[in-house]
């Protein structure tokens, strides 16, 4: 993670936006975007990782992000926002166009498929199968895109 005034602003915004939210294991949700941000190596991707779920899971809007962040950051966060009405795999195909979105999404998939995060919970076997299938298909789409485009 890169610490700059902008990434600290993104961290504070994400912390406030996700306040009171918890993951499947009861861990404060903010640890998920922080985990992703820790893997990023520059200011832009760190901000994107921290903010990647704020439009999807909180009341924040694009206009809120535009007040403090560049168009590149805002547009990439928007690409990473999965609308409930969108087919998940179509959403993944769309985000492939952005190297920044791919980088954050790959980290997101890795963290979302880390079953050690489920300690203390017992998801139904069909739920686990659904998650595994969904994320394996997403990973395949991204890897195929990268192979086809030499990235």
CATH number at residue 87: 1.10.3210.10
Rounded to two decimals, what is the model's pTM?
A: 0.94
pLDDT at 42 over 90: yes
Q: Of all helices (H) and strands (E), which one includes residue 27?
A: none
Residue 146 has pLDDT above 80, yes or no: yes
Q: Is the pLDDT of residue 63 over 80?
A: yes
How many domains, in total, are found in the chain?
Answer: 1
User: Percentage of the chain with pLDDT > 70?
Assistant: 100
Query: Over the stretch 83-119, which tens digit does the pLDDT of each residue have?
Result: 999 999 999 999 999 999 999 999 999 999 998 887 7
Cα 127 to Cα 76: distance, rounded to the nearest angstrom:
29
Once rounded to an integer, what is the mean pLDDT over residues 46-62? Answer: 98
Calculate the average pLDDT of the chain. 96
Domain limits for position 136? 5-149
CA distances for 67 relative to 62, 64, 74, angstroms: 9, 6, 10
In this prediction, residue 60 carries a pLDDT of 98
Instruction: Tell whether the model's pLDDT for residue 128 goes beyond 90.
Output: no
pLDDT of residue 120: 72
Beta-carbon contacts of residue 23 (< 8 Å; ≥ 6 apart): 29, 31, 32, 117
Whole-number percent of the chain with pLDDT over 90: 87
Q: What is the pLDDT of residue 25?
A: 85
83-87: long-range contacts (C-beta < 8 A, 24 or more apart)? 83/56
Residues 59 and 47 sit within 8 Å (Cβ to Cβ): no
């Amino acid at each position: 993670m890169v610490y700059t005034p902008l990434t600290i602003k993104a961290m504070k915004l994400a912390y406030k936006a996700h306040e009171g939210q918890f993951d499947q294991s009861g861990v404060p949700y903010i640890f998920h975007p922080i985990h992703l941000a820790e893997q990023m190596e520059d200011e832009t991707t760190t901000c994107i990782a921290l903010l990647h779920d704020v439009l999807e899971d909180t009341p924040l809007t694009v206009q809120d992000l535009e007040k403090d962040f560049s168009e590149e950051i805002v547009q990439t966060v928007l690409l990473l926002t999965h609308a409930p009405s969108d087919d998940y795999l179509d959403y993944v195909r769309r985000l492939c166009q952005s190297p920044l979105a791919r980088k954050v999404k790959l980290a997101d998939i890795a963290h979302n498929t880390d079953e050690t995060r489920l300690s203390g919970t017992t998801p139904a076997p069909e739920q686990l199968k659904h998650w595994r299938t969904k994320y394996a298909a997403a990973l395949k789409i991204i890897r195929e895109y990268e192979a086809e485009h030499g990235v």
